[in-house]
Amino acid sequence: MELPLRARALETGDTVAVSALSSGLDPDEVELFERGIRAVEGLGFTVRVAQSVEPGRRRWWMSAPPAEIAGELNGLFRDPEVRAILALTGGRAALSYLDLIDFDAVRADPKPLLGFSDITALHLALYARTGLVTVHSDLVTHGFGYWSELAEDRRRELDDVYRRVLTGDPDPVRLPQLGDWQTWRPGRATGRLVGGLLNRLIRLQAGPHALSTERFDGALLFWEEVGTSDSFIWNDLHVLRQAGVLDRIAGMIVGPTGTVEMLDEGPGTLREIVLDVLGDRDIPVLGNVDIGHEPPNVPLPIGVLAEMDADAASLTLLEPAVTRSTGVATPSRVAV
């Protein structure tokens, strides 16, 4: 099993690229996009907007044909001036071009990829194939684009935690509790973060870019869902149970409950769904965490060691997501 692969830490003024890795930029979201760019620039980075972000550029529900999206992504990984890649938005395209990604280029010059929703497929495929630490985070539009609407203290919290994650703060980073995090099952656990949008995880596991079962050993599995019902989630969690995933993980972190439809004939709460599938597995569960489709998101670096305390409703990153070094970025590996 490949160990976590860390990119070089970002420094003030470094170039980060925004790419439409799934859906494109709708004309009515240009203002939201511009606000998102300002928020990223406020972290101290220089933003480069890729060609795919041209407003109105699209093919069907995508920003471009899959081969073009993959070509742009590969070009960004090969470009030594680009130190991080930010997803413009989510959508329904990432699974279509996983076989076109230049994983050798990723290994040669690792750099963090940021985003959520459909970008989960990229996060997990990159982690499965190369061990790259990417960051489940806000999107440029639906995420960073909302920061200007937040209260000043919330905005400062997000500025601080994103900057610390991307610049490789060596001290533990306790993630800010932006909403009402809930103790669904008590306890504490330490493990490597892995997860994202649940249905993308399930689909990825059916193909050649699936995570090995060892990736889940002692892991903190985080997931969220949107636009679906409790029964679909219940079935997807049972798929993970039957695959042995739930017997391997050390803890579970669940995203917002308000993005899931609870059916009349169902149990009534997402918590009940989760605990029903887990059965008597004695692992802590932290619910309603700020990840996914009710941004802003707290950044969760995939592959990074973290500690969850469900009793205290806290989540702390125990090691950096990137490595502080000088010169050209080189792979940095740590023990599992």
Catalytic residue numbers, as ranges: 117, 224, 293
Residue 268 phi, psi (nearest 5): 110, -30
Question: Other CB atoms closer than 10 Å to residue 243's CB: what's the count?
Answer: 15
Q: What is the 3-state secondary structure (H, E, C) of the chain?
A: CCCCEECECCCCCCEEEEECCCCCCCHHHHHHHHHHHHHHHCCCCEEEECHHHCCCCCECCECCCHHHHHHHHHHHHHCCCEEEEEECCCCCCHHHHHHHCCHHHHHHCCCCEEECHHHHHHHHHHHHHHCECCEECCECCCEHHHHHHCCHHHHHHHHHHHHHHHHCCCCCEECCCCCCCEEEECCEEEEEEEEEEHHHHHHHCCCCCCCCHHHHCCCEEEEECCCEEHHHHHHHHHHHHHCCHHHCCCEEEECCCCCEECCCCCCCCHHHHHHHHHCCCCCCEEECCCCCCCCCCCCEECCCEEEEECCCCEEEECCCCCECCCCCCCCEECCC
Instruction: Give the sign of the dihedral formed by CA 195, CA 226, CA 136, CA 286.
Output: negative
